[in-house]
């Protein structure tokens, strides 16, 4: 093995074909990491290759195929990486998507698919990395959660539930792994200019006979507005890099305008007050 590669810290990133995963892969490579950037469909690697070339880090990023829903493949891929590079110092669990729609009208299979990717896939990849990190008594697992992992929103039940599950899993895992020098971290972004919301709701067809047709049309309009006006995701990437460099990172890092305030208010206000405030703000904003 190349002696230079041995000295480089190694990062493994899931869902690296776009969004946070793509930007994180490039940012970590700039910081000196050897990045294994994984994605389900290698036909979508063009954007990452172009971004890596522009940043001058092509030689530090290796693009590999991994569908996190294939649990046995996840274990094999992780073991192959550890055998080749000796270790994984940083795991960034980013792969995921957002399923949208009102609960009454969503098939149970859609809920299952959402959890297979956003939760069980994340658990499978993490489990594959843990033995090596525990044995070395060193490593970081960074799980990309969301404000939706702390606060529920209408028409996003499957996504919200999957992110709440990621939050609970990460909290428990952190307490399991801290005695072994392994830090588990949650990044909780608000709304940013990525494709996750548009992709998730593109598949939502508004049935004219649905009792929720007016609400769904308003929510789709709101999501499209957010997609057009949301800020660049670079502050989320900066937070991930900060965690990677920190010797003792915290469990949770909320990121984005109004995110910390929203979490605080939900925790301190009586539920009826919070409920009234959210419903009033949400539906009034959708009317405008």
Residues with active-site annotation: 159
Measured between alpha carbons, how far is 68 from 38 in angstroms, rounded to an integer? 9
Please calculate the CA angle 281-256-224 and round it to the nearest 5 degrees: 55
Phi, psi of 278 (to 5 degrees): -65, -45
Please count the residues of the chain.
Answer: 288
- Which residue's entry shows tokens 């003792």? 248
Answer for the pair 204, 110: CB distance below 8 angstroms, yes or no.
no
Answer for the pair 244, 27: CB distance below 8 angstroms, yes or no.
no
H helix runs in the chain, sequence order? 3-7, 19-30, 46-55, 71-85, 108-115, 122-136, 157-177, 196-202, 213-229, 234-245, 259-268, 271-287
Measured between alpha carbons, how far is 223 from 190 in angstroms, rounded to an integer? 13
Per-residue b or e along 124-157, where b marks 16 or more CB atoms closer than 10 Å to that residue's CB: bbbebbbebbbeeeebbbbbbbbbbbbbeebbbb
- HSE-CB at 228 with a 13 A cutoff on CA atoms is 6
- Pairing between β-strand 34-39 and β-strand 10-13 as defined by DSSP bridges: parallel
End-to-end CA distance of the chain: give it in Å, rounded: 60
Structure tokens at 74: 């996840």
């Amino acid at each position: 093995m190349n002696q230079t590669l041995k000295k480089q810290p190694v990062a493994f990133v899931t869902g690296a074909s776009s969004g946070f995963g793509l930007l994180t892969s490039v940012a970590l490579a700039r910081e000196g990491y050897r990045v294994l950037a994984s994605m389900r469909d290698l036909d979508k690697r063009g954007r990452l290759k172009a971004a890596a070339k522009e940043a001058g880090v092509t030689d530090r990023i290796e693009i590999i195929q991994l569908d996190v829903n294939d649990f046995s493949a996840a274990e094999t891929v992780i073991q192959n990486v550890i055998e080749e590079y000796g270790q994984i110092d940083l795991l960034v669990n980013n792969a995921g998507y957002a399923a949208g729609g009102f609960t009454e009208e969503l098939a149970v299979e859609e809920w299952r698919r959402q959890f297979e990717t956003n939760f069980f896939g994340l658990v499978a990849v993490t489990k594959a990395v843990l033995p090596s990190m525990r044995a070395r008594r060193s490593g970081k697992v960074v799980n990309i959660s969301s404000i939706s992992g702390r606060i529920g929103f209408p028409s996003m039940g499957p996504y919200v539930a999957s992110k709440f599950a990621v939050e609970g899993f990460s909290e428990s895992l952190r307490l399991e792994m801290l005695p072994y020098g392994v830090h588990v971290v949650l990044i909780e972004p608000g709304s940013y200019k990525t494709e996750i919301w548009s992709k998730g709701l593109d598949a939502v067809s508004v049935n004219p006979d649905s009792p929720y047709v007016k609400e769904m049309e308003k929510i789709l309009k709101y999501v499209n507005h957010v997609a057009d006006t949301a800020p660049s995701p670079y502050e989320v990437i900066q937070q991930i890099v900060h965690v990677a460099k920190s010797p003792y990172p915290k469990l949770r890092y909320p990121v984005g305008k109004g995110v910390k305030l929203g979490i605080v208010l939900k925790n301190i206000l009586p539920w009826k007050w919070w409920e009234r405030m959210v419903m009033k703000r949400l539906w009034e904003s959708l009317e405008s």
